[in-house]
Structures are given as structure tokens and as C-alpha cells.
Amino acid sequence: MRAARVLLPCALAAALSACGGDSKPTSLLVTTPDSHVASTATGGVGSDPKCTPLPDSTSATVQSALELSGQCHFTDHAAAKCVERPGDYYVYVHHDLADEGEYVLTVNVEGYNAPGSYKAGQVNLQITRHGLFYYWSTNSASVTIAEGAKQATVASARLAAQPGTPAQGTIQVSGLAACPELS
């Protein structure tokens, strides 16, 4: 487990650990040629962290359609990993990035008890790259869990850059996260 992942919220880290921890869903991701994150803070960091996931050779039977815009801009068609636990519902998407970094998008619905709409979903996006940890999040996303709990739809959520990280600006996330199976 890389040090950057230790910074995930405890509830999410516990859920991922219960579901295989470092197992990464296979996926196919479509990006635009200009996919990028804005410049990092000054201090010799160097080039911008890219939001260009490496293509995956597997074909997913279930495709998501998560739109990211702002500091990170692309459409994520990866199959997600969904985890249903008493009181919580998690969505997890992971990609290795073209510049040797990694991208992790998580959705956490606290107080989950059945498929339906929830107003206080947590959406987090982290990019780790060369020892740096970029983090955007919100605790007020509207999330709808479909019957069968294999799909979660995020209404337009504005993720703010978090203090203490070199992340800047905001990232908008909206759309469907689809899971081939429920854990």
C-alpha cells in the first residue's frame, strides 16, 4: 500500500481493505488529448500532474460515464468497484496515469440503507504523482443508488482543492458509475 493511500478517510480505507485492499478494477478509459490538471504550487515541483490514465487492454462489460471537468478534464468509462455495507455505500475507481502517477475517485454515501437518493454523499478525487498528493473533495454531493446497487449516479458535484495539498481550483464530477458486481 502506497503512503498516499493511507490518507484516505478511515471508513473508506476499512471498506477497501475488506474488499481486497489494493485490488484494482480493470477498465477502459477514454480521455481527451488536452486532459490535464492545472499547474502545481511553486517550489520546484516541476511539470503538471496529468489526468491521462493509461489505456487498459481489457474490455469492461459494464461502462461508467463519469464526466470530470475543471482542473481535471475527461470522461471516465471505467467499470467501478461498488461496496455495500450497513450504513455505507462506496464506489471506487482507480487508474495508473501516463506520467507514473495514479488517480483514485471515491464516492461514499454515509447513512446508506437501501437504493435511493442521498443528499450528503462524499466525493473524493486524489492524484498521487512523484511523492505528491493532490486532493479534491466535497461532502455535499447528491448521489442516487439504483435498484440492485450496481450503479451510482452523481449529480453535478463541485470538488474543492484541499488545503495542505498542491491541488488547485475545483473539479466538477457528474454522471454514472457502473459496477459489474457488488461487493
Q: Is the pTM of this model over 0.85?
A: no
The reply to whether 183 falls in a domain is: no
Span 40-95, pLDDT tens digits: 222 222 234 467 666 654 455 668 889 989 888 888 888 899 999 999 999 999 88
pLDDT of residue 55: 66
The reply to whether 138 falls in a domain is: yes
Q: Which helix (H) or strand (E) holds 109?
A: strand 102-112
Percent of the chain with pLDDT over 70: 67
SS (H, E, C) 63-88: CCEEEEEECCCEEECCCCEEEEECEE
The reply to whether 111 falls in a domain is: yes
Type of residue found at 182: L
The number of distinct structural domains making up the chain is 1
Which residue segment(s) compose the domain that 60 sits in?
3-41+49-178
Work out the average pLDDT over 163-177.
Answer: 94
DSSP secondary structure code for residue 7 in this structure: T
Q: For cell 507514473, what's the residue?
A: 100
Span 15-46, pLDDT tens digits: 333 333 333 333 222 222 333 332 222 222 22
